[in-house]
Amino acid sequence: MATPNRPPRALVSLKLPRPVPALIALAKSMVQAMTGNAAFPNPDPTLATVIQAITDLETAETAAKARTHGAVAIRNDKRAALVTLLEQLKAYIQKMADANPDNAAAVIQSAGVNVRKVAVHAKRVFGARPGTVSGTVKLVTESVARRASYEWQYSTAEWRKLRTRLPWRFGPLSSSPRGSWSP
């Protein structure tokens, strides 16, 4: 009996912005979304700790904008502390989402963060494998139809990189003037 394919695991996407005001806004929105949310009964770290870190960063940012001596280093330390707390909160949100896999995406979004998009990879259409005899190659591709024919070509010419003003191109070695080869 075949096992049905399960949907991929929903993952928390925490894209932290570089500017401090934007980071503060994101942290406040996360705290607001998680406050009183039944999906997050005991946040780790506590929301009070995160709120205190936000307040500390706001104070340090104000001092840095006022060009107080040494305030930039203090602000950077406070920013790093808040980022650490937000990463820990992200791990807690992921833990709660994993505990409820049927509603994981909704749990993640209820915390004020996004669900990471699932990458879709297409199968390889064409492949080459070493042949059974030294110096040979076995070319593999999917069949288009039951009665399809394929045409394969190869060359024994040597190849080298041609430097052009455009990105690198590859071409055969020849005595032709430089740049006359076209793909």
Encode pLDDT of 2-51 as tens digits: 566 666 788 999 999 999 999 999 999 999 999 999 999 999 999 999 99
In a domain, 162, yes or no: no
How confident is the model over 54-77, as pLDDT tens digits? Answer: 999 999 999 999 999 999 999 999
> Is 158 or 17 the better-scoring residue by pLDDT?
17
Quote the domain boundaries for residue 39: 12-115
In a domain, 87, yes or no: yes
In a domain, 149, yes or no: no
In a domain, 158, yes or no: no
CB contact set of 145 (below 8 Å; sequence gap of 6+) = none
H-state helical runs in the chain? 20-34, 47-65, 71-99, 104-110
